Structure 1
Amino acid sequence: MAKKHHYDVLVIGAGPGGEGAAMAAAKAGKRVGVIENRPGVGGGCVHKGTIPSKSLRHVVKQVIRHKVYPLFRAMGDAQRLSYPEVLAEASRVIPRYVDLHTDYYIRNRATIHMGEASFVDANTVSVKLPDGARERLTAEHIVVATGSRPYRPSDIDFGHPRVYDSDTILNMKHTPRNLIIYGAGVIGCEYASIFSGLGIKVDLINSREHLLTFLDDEICDALSYHLRDMGVTVRHNEEYESVEATERGVTLKLKSGKRIHGDALLWSNGRTGNTDTLALDKIGLKADGRGQLEVNERYQTNVENIYAVGDVIGWPSLASASYDQGRAAASNILGQASRYVTDAPTGIYTLPEISSIGKTESELTAAKIPYEVGRAFFKNTARAQISGEKVGVLKILFHAESLEILGIHCFGAEASEIIHIGQAIMNQDGEANSIAYFVNTTFNYPTMAEAYRTAALDGLNRVQRI
């Protein structure tokens, strides 16, 4: 007979979205249960996505530095490192992260149930445990935070040892000489820079006209240039027709007639929400074609007591936004004020990295908003000269008359950190949101942050305000 447990709030999924909801509800004194189908908490973010890929990027960045700096070059040949060796070093962070976040649940008395969840009704969830036994959990409110997984077309054999997606690439046991990456979204571009940083020849296949078209055009151009400078072959406006994989390699046949050969294929073209095993029909919910659930601005589904957050609801599919969405859902359950997350900055961990917030030049032009641009090139900052990471630019878009900051776009080292300084000023009310802030504020020297002052002076010179 299935064991029964009752909770005020039951969260399905222990990734960033689930953790945000669980911690907020638990700290408010609610009895909280969490269901996770992996051996440890953290979700895909920790085990297959953000943490391992960004850790891998960090190790590769050190390898690149080893190759570039004369002092490091004299100490050994980093080019001999294999992909499995680099991956093993990057993977060390995962168990430490899992232990850290498991402790959060323990300290806040949120009960974790390891197993596969499926709905029985709107207040009841059945959990299939690893040993095959079942638990039945009931709750007043349920938060679905099951995340997503790579989209896999049915005509591609992902069981072949030379065909990977963004999850299974983290288990690759060999070092390909040539890697084909199909899909030039955020994940595809990140892995293209990571593998090319290891000296692997990369063919990046993009089905669109430009890379990452949601970014500012100047940043897109910079990314394209530096990927090619790293040896990545970028092919735009291409769609696959078929994939042929043998023990000797992979051939990607494109609709244009091209045949691209490589030692391995990384398929990185979209993601699917993890909803197919939830038995949504039992509660009258239906996911869309990509397995995603529709929610309102309270993160509430069409079933009043059931909420959904994170990748399973689609855009923006960022760990940072997912955590805030989880907290917002918990606030709504508690009857408190909440915010609908629309202002999350973009962080793209290519080499160099990219971050942005606010409007792009194209959007401002289309909206006929008079704006100006202030730029600071990293090569002109003392900190970049010291660190040797001189590639990059910070650009500030601001209203030509009111000086209100409208968008900030950064390409280069530590871009995802630098962006938050501008984000803080953008979120101020009235005249406090002004590019003039950066001119009237003293920054530590030497720092990357002082690029804001340089960019502000450049922009204000354009409108003859100083």
Structure 2
Amino acid sequence: MYDIIFIGGGLNYAGAIVAAKKGKKVALIEKDMRQLGGVCLHKGCIPSKMFLHYANVVYESKSDILEGQTALSMQKLFGKKTKLIENAWQAIKKQCSHVDLIEGEAQLKEPHKVEVSGKTLEAEYIIMGTGSSAFIPEGIEYNAKDIIMSDEVLMMQEFPKKIAIYGSGAIGLEMASFFATSGVSVTLIYREKSIQKRANPLIQTALKEQLEKIGVTLLSEHSIKTAKSTKKGVHITFEDKSSIYMPLLLVAAGRRPNVDFLTCKEIEVEKGIVTDRFFETTLAKHYAIGDCNGKLQLAHAARAEVLNVVERILGNNPRPLNLDHVVKFIHTLSMSYAVVGKTEGLKSSIVPLSHFPYSAYNHATKGVMITYSDQEGFILGAEILAPNAEELVAIVGMSLAGEMDTAQAKRTIFGHPTFSEALERTFFKL
């Protein structure tokens, strides 16, 4: 009998560590303990951002004031990535020294009981953090060889000469940036007319131009009907009956919550596991955090959610999380896109980065800072297209947490020359 059973070894582990340190008897079930740390560590944001970091070095080296050529070694990058993940995995495993780590497929069939490897474990509280899996649309015949997912990209040890990428979400745009800046011919296929249709139109246009500048061929308003491996390459047919052949197709069409382990009738499942604002399911003392609850597919959101749940179980009565205040970003090159808070139906302040000389030698003349406020002057959100936008947007994230208005924001003096001073300028224009 445990106090808490955690199902899934992604960011769930952070909550398990805290609970165990506070004296709770804790078990964490993960079907493959070599994947402790989750998709983000092993197959997602950690290795992908590492790949983009080194691809950006190559991109920077192509400046017309530099001489010589720089090329990225995929084999060396693979080795460096493998070592990084191994070290991080070992560190997480060490932190879990007071947690019972149980490897196996979990099944939750009835309240408070989890079946794993033929045994039934019981706990007062169950926290589900089973993550999500890549979605392969019907008609696309995934084979992990020439029709691949991002998992296979991170296992590559040499670059392809040419690749098609289907999807303009975070994975699609990040992989397009990585391959294009590394010298690979990239065709980005996406269903919408514009990239990131919820972004401000200025940012949509700038993202499009940025991708084209690094050599990405854009194929908008194209929905793949079928994709099959043939001797001539991957035969891709579209809804309009046109078709192309590509040597390699990366499918980046989104992810779906992992809920197959759950057959407990008291817990409702819709797009994900249904929860309230405290991440408690329709069954008391059973919680779902991270991708599996269908709210936000972000590692930092999952971590915040599980820590909030554990604090609640410990009786510390934490504030409910405001998921609108969670930072979202896409690490494209040479500028990233980041957003936090509300961005629609509000007063906006727009400052182009071209107004600042600092942007000229940072590939950021098409960048923009946009902040949003209500009519009373309270800051409610921001969109940023700039180098390291994911770092800059944290300034606005803190202002949301602190419920700052523009009068308070104007008191901060930002450094010069920096991109943050463009954000300062938006506060003065609100």
Q: Could you state the TM-score of these two structures normalised by the residue count of structure 1?
A: 0.84
% same residue:
27
Equivalence for 2:321: 340
Aligned partner of 1:62 in structure 2 is: 57
Choose from 359, 363, 370 the match for 2:342: 359
- Write out per-residue CA displacement over residues 31-65 of structure 1, whole angstroms, 9 at most, x where no aligned residue: 11111122142111111111111111112111212
1:198 aligns with 2:208: no
Whichever residue aligns with residue 294 of structure 1, its letter is V
Give the CA deviation at 1:144: 0.6
Deviation string for 1:299-330 (max 9, x for gaps)?
A: 11222221101000112211111111111222
Shift of 1:84: 4.2
Match of 2:70 in 1: 78
Distance 2:31 2:357 in 1: 48
In 2, Cα distance between equivalents of 1:90 and 1:397? 38
Shift of 1:434: 2.6
Distance change >3 Å, CA 116–CA 69, structure 1 → 2: farther
Provide the residue aligned with 1:113 in structure 2.
102
Cα deviation for residue 7 of structure 1 reads 1.3
Q: What pairs up with 1:21-420 in 2 under 5 angstroms?
A: 21-38=15-32, 39-68=34-63, 70-71=65-66, 73-74=67-68, 77-79=69-71, 81-106=72-97, 109-128=98-117, 134-153=118-137, 155-159=139-143, 161-276=145-260, 278=261, 280-285=262-267, 287-288=269-270, 292-335=272-315, 336-342=317-323, 343-351=325-333, 352-360=335-343, 363-364=344-345, 369=346, 371-377=347-353, 380-382=356-358, 384=359, 392-399=367-374, 402-420=376-394
1:286 shift after superposition: 5.5
Q: Provide the C-alpha distance between the structure 2 equivalents of 1:333 and 1:283, rounded to a whole number of angstroms.
A: 23
CA deviation map 1:125-163 (0-9, x unaligned) = 2223xxxxx443221111110101101245433225101
For 2:405 and 2:292, the matched residues in 1 are separated by: 36
Question: Please, which of 401, 407, 416 is the counterpart of residue 445 of structure 1?
Answer: 416
Amino acid at match of 1:452: L
Q: Is the 8 A contact 1:34 1:111 kept in 2?
A: yes
Aligned-pair distance for 1:179?
A: 1.0
Separation (CA, whole Å) in 2 of partners of 1:241 and 1:154: 8
Q: Residues of 2 paired with 1:167 and 1:287: CA distance?
A: 27
How much does 1:267 deviate?
0.8
- Which one of 416, 425, 428 corresponds to residue 454 of structure 1? 425
Check the 8 A contact 2:348/2:370 in 1, yes or no.
no
SS at match of 2:55: helix
State the secondary structure of the residue aligned to 1:221.
helix
Displacement of 1:338: 3.6
Per-residue CA shift, 1:328-368, capped at 9, x if unaligned? 222333342341341201111111211111222xx21xxxx
The answer for the alignment partner of 1:131 in structure 2 is: none
Deviation at 1:104, TM superposition (A): 2.3
For the Cα contact (< 8 Å) 1:321–1:341, is it kept in 2? Answer: no
What amino acid sits opposite 1:396 in the alignment? T
Q: Aligned AA for 1:409? A: E
CA–CA separation in structure 2 for the residues paired with 1:24 and 1:197: 41
The farther-off stretch of 26-35 and 56-65 is 26-35
Bigger mean CA offset, 387-396 vs 156-165 = 387-396
Go from structure 1 to structure 2 and tell me whether the alpha carbon gap of 1:420 and 1:160 turns closer, same or farther (over 3 Å shift): closer
Partner amino acid, structure 2, of 1:307? Y
Q: Distance in 2 between matches of 1:69 and 1:104?
A: 47
1:166-200 alpha-carbon deviations (Å, 9 max, x no partner): 22222234422221111212211111111111121
**Distance (Å, rounded) in 1 between the aligned partners of 2:227 and 2:263:** 35
For the 8 Å contact 1:202–1:233, the answer to whether it is kept is yes
Aligned-residue offset at 1:66:
2.3
Deviation at 1:10, TM superposition (A): 0.6
Unmatched tracts of structure 2, length 5 or more: none
Q: Given residue 206 of structure 1, which amino acid in structure 2 is its aligned partner?
A: Y
Structure 1, unaligned runs of 5 or more: 1-5, 129-133, 461-466
Change (3 A) 1:340 1:372: closer
SS of the residue corresponding to residue 442 of structure 1 reads coil
Q: SS where residue 68 of structure 1 aligns?
A: coil
Q: How far does residue 9 in structure 1 lie from its aligned partner after superposition?
A: 0.6
SS at match of 2:318: coil
1:3 corresponds to: none
Q: For the aligned residues, what is the CA RMSD?
A: 2.4
Measured in 1, the distance between the counterparts of 2:133 and 2:382 equals 30
Q: Is the 8 A contact 1:295 1:313 kept in 2?
A: yes
Distance 2:309 2:13 in 1: 11
* Count of aligned residue pairs for this structure pair: 426
CA–CA distance in structure 2, aligned partners of residues 85 and 255 of structure 1: 40
Displacement of 1:390 in angstroms is 5.3
> Cα gap change, 1:286/1:168 in structure 2, threshold over 3 Å: closer, same or farther?
farther
2:19 is matched by which residue type in structure 1? Answer: A
User: Following the alignment from structure 2 to structure 1, what is the Cα–Cα distance between the partners of residues 13 and 361?
Assistant: 39
